Amino acid sequence: MNETVSFEDRVRQHYPKAVTMSTFREKIRDVLANGHSIDLAKVLLATSLCADDIVAVRGPEVPSHKTKLKHDFLGPFSMGGLAGLPYSGLTGMSTIGHHIPEKGSVLIAYGPHIGISDQGEPGKLLRPGQRCESSACGALTLALKHFQSSPGYQPAYDDDDTELMTLERRLLPFRGHILTADNPLKAATDCAYNIIHGLIGRYLRSQKKVFECEYIALVGGIIINTGYQHDDYIDLRHLSVRRAQEL
């Protein structure tokens, strides 16, 4: 291992445009408050992020450099689940529209996540209180394992595992692309991002009548989770702020 390579360099070997989560939080606050004169006290945050505790982490045990976007706004309303797909669907999006404060705005933050170990390995992470690294995103890793198990693998309907089944069904059209990629997990994560971005846009257009608010801000990207001594990162893929009537 080359000791002169910083951890940030290791992250950027995989995601060259990645920025730290604290830089990203400042950027969002600046774009909303200074770029569009939005009253941040009246912004409802809605998220479509993985259920994984390393994404949702909060509380007194969390070091300040791991503080999440959700501390800055009302909410969040959580649309997400395994791998960050918006499983609450059209109903969830409609409900978000109904929960925005009077003369307020909404910020919808979405995307999958991937761990990067201290050694720079994507898909791996040492979780707090554990001695061995584990997978992140675990759901995407499992879907990938199923795809690799046999060329004819089809996700079976299972009432007790609906999110994984839905995730695999959404990813299935991209199986060939994912399995032949240099890094299949990174490819699956990119596909998950594109799927989530597409669904959020479609759900929003479908439910636009209930968004009688000032602004709708969308921010999408791949969250890069790291060990506890480092800040997390984000590879920002989309940032837009529109008047509600422009939907």
- Show the site string, 45-84: x = touches Zn ion by CB under 5 A, - = not: -----x-x--------------------------------
User: How buried is residue 229: exposed, middle or buried, by Cβ count under 10 Å (0-12/13-18/19+)?
Assistant: exposed
Scan for tokens 């997390």, then name that residue: 232
CB of 12 to Zn ion, least distance (A): 22
- Helix H or strand E encompassing 93: helix 89-99
- Contact with Zn ion (CB under 5 A): which of 38, 45, 69, 137? 137
Query: Whole-angstrom Cα distance, residue 31 to residue 59?
Result: 27
d(CA 211, CA 207): 7
Nearer to Zn ion, 139 or 178 (CB): 139
128 in Cβ contact with 52 (< 8 Å): no
Contact 224, 116 (CB under 8 A): yes
Binding range to Zn ion, per CB under 5 A, among 6-14, 57-65, 135-143, 153-161? 135-143
Q: How far apart are CA 58 and CA 153, in angstroms?
A: 37
Q: How far is the CB of 200 from Zn ion (least distance, A)?
A: 17
Told to check if 125 binds Zn ion by CB under 5 A, we report: no
For the bound state, the minimum distance from the C-beta of residue 139 to Zn ion, rounded and expressed in Å, comes to 5
Quick one: 21 or 50, whose CB is closer to Zn ion?
50
Q: Which is nearer to Zn ion, 113 or 230 (CB)?
A: 113
* Cβ proximity of 126 and 229 under 8 Å: no
Q: Smallest gap, in angstroms, from Cβ of residue 112 to Zn ion?
A: 7
The contact set with Zn ion (CB under 5 A) reads 50, 52, 137, 139
